[in-house]
Amino acid sequence: MTSLEFHLPALQVAVPLLLAPVVVLLRPRGLAWAAATVTSLMAFAIAVAMTQGILDGEVYRYAMGGWEAPYGIGLRVDRFSALVLLLVTGASSLGLLAGKQSIDRSIETQRQPLFYAAWLLVVAGLAGILVSADAFNIFVFMEISSLASYVVVAGGTDRRALPAVFKYLIMGTIGATFYLIGVGLIYMMTGTLNLADMAMRIHEVSEQRPILVAAGFITVGLALKAAVFPLHVWLPNAYTYAPHAVSAFLAACATKVSLYVLLRFDFVVFQPNLLGHDFQFAAFLMPLAVLAILVGSTVAMFESNIKRLLGYSSVAQIGYIMLGASLVSLTGLSASLLHIFNHALAKGTLFLAVMALAMRFGQLDLASLGGAARRMPWTMSAFVVGALSLIGVPGTAGFISKWYLVTAAFAEGPLGYFLIAVIVVGSLMAVVYSWRIVEATWFAPEVQANPVTAETTIGEAPMAMLAVVWLAALTNIYFGLFTALPRALAEGAAGALIAGVP
């Protein structure tokens, strides 16, 4: 391992964290954007490099400042973290690459450097969560990413974002506090914050009840941040009123990172040590997952704002992720991790397409988008690819994770058949709500929308934006056909997570 390679886990966080303040100082128009984009692409390159290394058998462990755990801050990157790191840095890069014009329109020029700095802090925070090996640093980075994401969500000119972000802030803070209470309880009982140490020491603890309470606090706290039904109420509005580029970035990866912590904590720390906790975990989350799929999809079927519709669809898709995990089996967990990856591809594409759509249409209500696709066929074709992936049509990434999920459920016997029925019904509901958008944009008669610009004829989105939207759409197809990379990461990660479960 070269020395640069050795430092990659630290650089993953340090690059965006240290460049964020620099970006604030870049006043000339466009420079802040360029710097933020380059930084984000660098972070993506680091994630790719580490993924490559992990697949070649490297293990990334890092002690900040040379102070070894348990005294120093330990960093650790494995397949699971690499999988989510790719999403975070990739979604951020695509959001920035495509989003310049959209951000120019929704954020005043003089505030843009601050906005881009906050964006980089979100990246740094999320990446920090993913590389941290100890529970308290996870909390710290969680706070960094949350505070910064409140800023970027509320950063636009849409005043309705303010109440939405206030709700997001309150719920997020409650979630983080719950998490911290849980971590505190465990620290009190075990004297360590390192996840791996905790896993080893808990079963030496004489009194298990505080640990059980900690498990409750941590699960609920993280479920809040991950928008697991019924703790999802902050999500749809936050996505709807955020600047479009931010929606694309956060919808693809923000909740996934909280799910990462939830799954990692539960499978590494609690399930190996608490008797019967795997059952508690399944019994608690499975009903919620089923409800999330059914309720989220139902609401999406009747929602009329595209972004909110997609937000409720995310609630349902988080349900699929939890459903796979709640099976507590290798295939189930692989399905869950694959769906984290594949849903990010689909939802990222959809929100990017919506951003392109919003360049030409001020209102994102279905009623005011009549015939939009006939004016913007390329944008909406990319949207259709994303929608097919969301539904889970073969040939797209979405199919792969649904297939794993169905296979995992199939192995569970009668309960599994019920779950398969839920998955099928959920997918058909996805067909319905996707079709509503297709119907409105392709087939409905044209309405005289208020063009955002003064242009009288509404045409395609800007070329650069369109190229990125299509790049995202094509990843859905690529990873629907050539599945080796996500499968290797997800199956390897699932195997490592489930190894400790009795």
Partner 1 sequence: MSPDSLILAALIVPLAGAVLIGLAGRFSPNLREAVTLVTAGLLIFVVWSLLPTVYDGGRPSAQLAEVLPGIDIAFRVEPLGMMFAALASGLWLVNSIYSIGYMRGNQEKKQTRFYVLFAVSLAATMGIAFSANLFTLFLFYEALTLSTYPLVSHKGDAATVKSARVYLGILISASIGLLLPAIIWTYSVAGTGDFRMGGILEGVIEGPAVGLLLGLFVFGAAKAAVMPVHRWLPAAMVAPTPVSALLHAVAVVKAGVFTITKVIVYIFGVDFLFSEPSSSWLFYAACFTIIAASVVALRQQNLKRLLAYSTIAQLSYVVMAAAILKPLAEVGAAIHMLAHAFGKITLFFAAGAIYTASKKTELAQLRGIGRRMPITMTAFTIGALSMIGVPPTGGFVSKWYILAGAFQADNYIALATIIASTALNAAYFLPIVYVVWFEKDATPPGKEHGEAPFAAVLALALTAALTIAFFVYSAPAYELESQLVRAAS
Distances, alpha carbon 182 to alpha carbons 131, 213, 216, 218, 408, in Å: 20, 7, 8, 5, 31
**Interatomic CA distance for residues 499 and 501, integer angstroms:** 6
Nearer to partner 1, 212 or 431 (CB): 431
Residue 330 engages partner 1 in binding (rule: CB under 8 A):
no
Residues 6+ apart with CB under 8 A from 372: 357, 360, 361, 380, 440, 441, 449, 458
Which of 410, 411, 415, 417 touches partner 1 (CB under 8 A)? Answer: 410
Residue 279 engages partner 1 in binding (rule: CB under 8 A):
no
Nearer to partner 1, 424 or 499 (CB): 424
**Interatomic CA distance for residues 458 and 449, integer angstroms:** 9
> Could you give the angle at the alpha carbon of 367 between the alpha carbons of 361 and 370, nearest 5°?
60
Residue 431 engages partner 1 in binding (rule: CB under 8 A):
yes
**Interatomic CA distance for residues 74 and 58, integer angstroms:** 17
288, 218 Cβ separation under 8 angstroms = no
Q: Which stretch binds partner 1 (CB under 8 A): 82-90, 197-205, 263-271, 428-436?
A: 428-436
Nearer to partner 1, 251 or 384 (CB): 384
User: Prior bond to 70 cis, omega within 30?
Assistant: yes
DSSP letter, residue 132: B
Nearer to partner 1, 305 or 407 (CB): 407
CB of 160 to partner 1, least distance (A): 33
DSSP string, 49-103: HHHHHHHTT--EEEEGGG--TTTS-EEEE-HHHHHHHHHHHHHHHHHHHHHHHHH
DSSP letter, residue 203: G
Q: Which of residues 441-480 bind partner 1 (CB under 8 A)?
A: 442-443, 445, 480
Residue 428 engages partner 1 in binding (rule: CB under 8 A):
yes
Residue 403 engages partner 1 in binding (rule: CB under 8 A):
yes
Which of 483, 492, 497, 501 touches partner 1 (CB under 8 A)? Answer: 483
CB of 335 to partner 1, least distance (A): 12
Q: Which stretch binds partner 1 (CB under 8 A): 136-144, 222-230, 267-275, 482-490?
A: 482-490
How many residues comprise the chain? 502
Which of 302, 417, 425, 439 touches partner 1 (CB under 8 A)? Answer: 439
Q: Which of residues 356-375 bind partner 1 (CB under 8 A)?
A: 374
Which residues of the shown chain bind partner 1 in the complex (CB under 8 A)?
Answer: 374, 377, 384, 391, 393-395, 400, 403, 406, 410, 424, 428, 431, 435, 439, 442-443, 445, 480-483, 487
